[in-house]
Structure 1
Amino acid sequence: MTLWRLTVAASAATGVWLAAQQYDVWWTALSQLANLAVAASYVGLAVREPRSPWLRGGLTSVMLLVALAYLPMANGNLLEPWSLLEHVVTPGLVLADFLLVGANQGGLRWWHPLTWLVAPAAYLVWYVAADLAVYDALDPAASGVFLARLSLLLTLLLAAGFALCLAGRRRVLRLPA
């Protein structure tokens, strides 16, 4: 399992490194920050998996948001290696880790998806307060559209979180350690 977790970390770190080569302000995008969190967390998970599945569930839910919101938000394409790693490969690996590799998903609680909203909400506060303007589709100046899109993203994030809880509790397939 150690090699697997280090592979997930390497995928995330490579995506961030390649994005940093492409963009001066790579650290202002949720995609890069989420991948950076995955890289750091999965190095730690390679050493020791905590009893609670909360961290892996939270990382998986935010990576699902990164993957599912990227193309509809019209912020790019998947032709660049960094984009493919950050928006498809790493989210897929994190989801596979959650569904197939980890052993403690049954410990998820119904309220965990609500707590997984904290990090994206903190990012949103920073995004608006610092006027980051990273995403054309999320322009706070267009308040009606902005609020509608935020509602959609919130719904997507909560649906992903609750689906992960349900899948974790009902999981029947598990790869050997």
Structure 2
Amino acid sequence: MFISAPVARDLIVGSIAFAVSLSTQAGAQTAPQGRDAITRADIQKRLEARFDALDTNKDGVISADERKANSEKSRARMFARIDKDGNGSISREEFSAQRRGPARRGMGGQAMTGRSANASMSKADFVNRRLAMFDRVDTNHDGIISPEERGAVRGKMRQHRGAGAPPAPASGG
């Protein structure tokens, strides 16, 4: 099965990274299939909470300024995590020791939203776009992403990427 570059990018950036990060967090795991499964209802609840945290001025939309501020905070946290000795710079050893993996964008990035970085996003758009990613991974449509479904998507993405080849550019732009 072939996956187009835009769909592949959505799957890897959104579905896998997001589902994996949420399913491995401790706490309110309600999936009947165990700790490694995650429900759509749980994802929706967490997305709504995430939106509320990103909407710092509580006007019901995430603006470009709010997205930028969140991105800056995320970069600072990532830098601090890699800078193990806390000296304000990242050595070759610190850089090499970091976890390797696909580039990930923040929750408000264009890769995940399909929108301009300057566009505002309502709570409904924020939640529904990400739930659509969940639905693409939930291949049996039971409202649960099982470890097998996550593994299948990972396998498709590895196959699509090939031997470290960068993803093809999106068409139409």
Larger strand proportion, structure 1 or 2?
2
TM over 0.5: no
The structure having more radius of gyration, on CA atoms, is 2
Higher relative contact order (CA 8 A, sep 6+): 2
Q: TM-score, normalised by structure 2?
A: 0.31
TM-score after normalising by structure 1: 0.31
Structure richer in helix, relative to its length: 1
